[in-house]
Amino acid sequence: MVLSMRCDMDRDEFAKIMLSAARRLKLAGSIRSFIDPLAFNGVELRCAHLVSKPTKFQFAHFLRLLNKEMKANSTGECGNTVSLR
């Protein structure tokens, strides 16, 4: 089962998170700690509408970080996944 998460924040708040490596790491850890006990094997982030030119590169870093976290602690045969919508 995949958890679908909508990024319900404004662009400024999103940029504040994406432009800070520490905040990106904290967000990835928070998502991971929410998913693990509920046995989800993936997460779909619905926040493409918030990505702008200044945050695009950092958001890509965040997705790689989250994907690495998900794969490191895979719970199923297929492994855990990250997707963007």
Question: What's residue 78's pLDDT?
Answer: 56
pTM (predicted TM-score): 0.81
Domain assignment of residue 56, given as a range: 2-84
Length of the chain in residues, anyone?
Answer: 85
Report mean pLDDT in 10-residue bins for the chain, 85 residues.
88 95 94 86 89 94 90 64 64
> Residues 19, 43, 28, 77: is their CA dihedral positive or negative?
negative
CA-closest candidate to residue 33, choices 73, 5, 6? 73
Question: What's residue 82's pLDDT?
Answer: 74
User: Is 42 strand, coil or helix?
Assistant: strand
Q: CA 54, CA 84: separation in Å to the nearest integer? A: 18
Question: What's residue 77's pLDDT?
Answer: 59
Domain total for the chain?
Answer: 1
CA-closest candidate to residue 31, choices 19, 42, 20, 47? 42
